[in-house]
Chains A and B, each alone.
Chain A
Amino acid sequence: MDDYLVGVLSNIGIVSFIALSAWLLLLTGEISFGQQAFFAIGAYAAGIATALWGWPLGAALGWSAAIAGGAAVLVGVPTLRLHGLYFAIATLGFAEMVRLLFEQFHYRVMIDGELVGPNGSDGFRGIRYIFENDVGSLQFLALIYLLLAAALAGFMLLERSRLGVAFRMIGEDDTLAALNGLAVARLKILAAGLAGALAGLGGGLYAHLTTYVEPRVFDVMLGVHSLAYGLIGGLGTALGPLLGVVIDIGLLESVRAFAGYRMIVFGGLVAVLLIVRPRGLLDEALVHRIGRLFVRAPPAGP
């Protein structure tokens, strides 16, 4: 495969993680502008683990998911009683705090005759695990999509489980959900933690793909984009945010011809799309209709 294609596909796979992360929160009815914070935490954690501590990649990725998930739970507790716009702005504030803290974060270690490690706003270069260990770019691509497939399988299971129903119920009306005996607070923190872990895993993969991260990568643009993907692609299924990513990055790549007008066309398209389908292309109604094609029609009523 063409190196360039491999690169684009890798990007699509990695962005999908953070898009899924924002989508999971949308499912529970919360808008987050701040999932990039957990992506950043995951990227730095994984990069430090392999480049400075010499951990193997698998352990580093697990660690990035764990620490990002943990951070998400910690933030989830104080922001839990906020809703809607208040929650959205709180996550935005948190994410910018994290980004600006990384601007101040210096942790340099002499490795092999060279200083390596996060160096504030100058970034963190030399996360060279996949080159030192001869992981081919195709192999790494396979790893990304394997993990993505695992995450999607998890979501498919979730949708069929009581937990998935509980998440959607909270998203619909959390007072009603509480009246029905759901532990709303705990479930919301669980969702926030899972979403944080997903974003962190994506961040860990990102750091190893590019070999370089810097705080600017994780600004609000990334967060708002990942939120938008879920809404463009659709809220009905976990494939929605993936579709959103494919549309955005795929379109951006394919319409290089009119480079200067790209955002004008794309911005207009998204706005019109959201007028026609306010819950995205793959919304609940469409997913339900497709789902019905695969099961027997219910018996006609009396």
Chain B
Amino acid sequence: MVDLVQNTIDGLMIGSSYGLLALGFTLIFGVMRRLNLSYGPSVMVGAYLGTLVYVQLAAGPLVVLVVTVLGSVLAGLYVERLCFAPMAAGAGVASMVSSFAIWMQLEQAAVLVLPRHTYPFPPLATADPLAFGPFYLRVDGLIMLACALALSAGVQLLLYRSRVGLALRATINNPVAAHLAGIDVRTAVVFAFALASAVGGIAGYLVLATDQQVTPMFGMWATFKGLIAMMIGGLGSIPGAILGGLVLGVVEANSQWYFGPQVRDLLAYVLLFACLVLRPGGLLGEAPSRQQDTGRRGA
């Protein structure tokens, strides 16, 4: 029982980073109705720049954070420019495949600049875990959880309480009508991409600072964790993204403890598959409608 609770606590903490990745995914998907496979790799590019200033210039954690986020945003905008902006409406699949090609490109570029397999990342918090009776709370985990809740609340507020958010929601709802109402749709899209990449960059920083190292595999890891958490929580829902991340984290932490890493990965995909088949809208999302059929020709 103690194990179960402790695993669940650990799972909630790592899950909050999945939730943040899913949040970025859901923002891009909400606006574009297209899947950006390069989302994780662009965060990885940011993280590589972060570790570069950390290793070369001995920069402090705050500088590394800023560089990571800025790098992620720049890489995200590069992906938007190349894979999404020039694509005609109705070329959703082309955008997705193109973002995959750019993924390969970003990954190789990162490996060329920093060829070793792992690079160090500054630790988030070196304080000892807090003890509550038999349970331990890791300080970096707590920071991660707090950041996830604060950021998702912030994004929710931005979307529903600000003019920029209103413009974004109008674009999500109907780009043509938004354009007719005088909204600069192009800017709205770029803004959504930048925001999503910044959220992803923060998530990436938190995860890597907890691991204290970064590898080229991080891009793929981030894309898949974000994707799974988003689908479990419900496409297009911000609370859903966070909830999906937390659920995924708890399931992973417990299955890792009881059955080992291979079964952990297997169970994560079983959860994803079952969720899609039994409840395609996810835990908090709306059931898929024809409009959301991104990959289909008309989308």
Contacts and interface: CB of A to CB of B under 8 A. Distances in A.
Question: Do chains A and B directly touch (beta carbons under 8 Å) in the complex?
Answer: yes
Given A82-B288, A104-B262, A29 B297 contact: yes
B53 interface: no
B71 to A, nearest CB: 17
B62 interface: no
Which secondary structure characterizes the binding site on chain A? helix
Nearest to B101: A270
Interface in B79-109: 82-83, 86-88, 90-98, 100-109
B276 A84 contact: no
Instruction: Please report whether the interface of chain B is mostly helix, strand, loop or mixed according to DSSP.
Output: helix
Contact of A78 (B83, B102, B277): B277
Nearest to A31: B295
B104 A97 contact: no
Contacts of A100: 262, 265-266, 269
A39 B24 CA distance: 33
> What class of interface size applies to chain A in its complex with B?
35 or more
Interface in B276-293: 276-277, 280, 288, 290, 292-293
Nearest to B96: A31
B262 A84 contact: no
Contact of A83 (B82, B266, B296): B296
Nearest to A275: B86
Contacts of A29: 295-297
B269 A97 contact: yes
Task: Give the contact-size bracket for chain B.
Answer: 35 or more
Interface stretch (A136-144, A186-194, A195-203, A255-263): A255-263
A274 interface: yes
Given A85-B295, A97-B266, A274 B105 contact: no
A231 B101 CA distance: 12
A26 interface: yes
Contact of B101 (A30, A89, A267): A267
21 contacts: A82-B276, A82-B277, A84-B293, A85-B29, A86-B276, A86-B288, A89-B276, A92-B227, A93-B269, A93-B270, A100-B269, A101-B266, A103-B262, A121-B262, A224-B37, A228-B100, A263-B104, A264-B108, A266-B104, A267-B106, A278-B90
Interface of A: 26, 29-31, 78-79, 81-90, 92-94, 96-97, 100-101, 103-104, 121, 171-173, 175, 220, 224, 227-228, 231-232, 260-264, 266-272, 274-275, 278-279
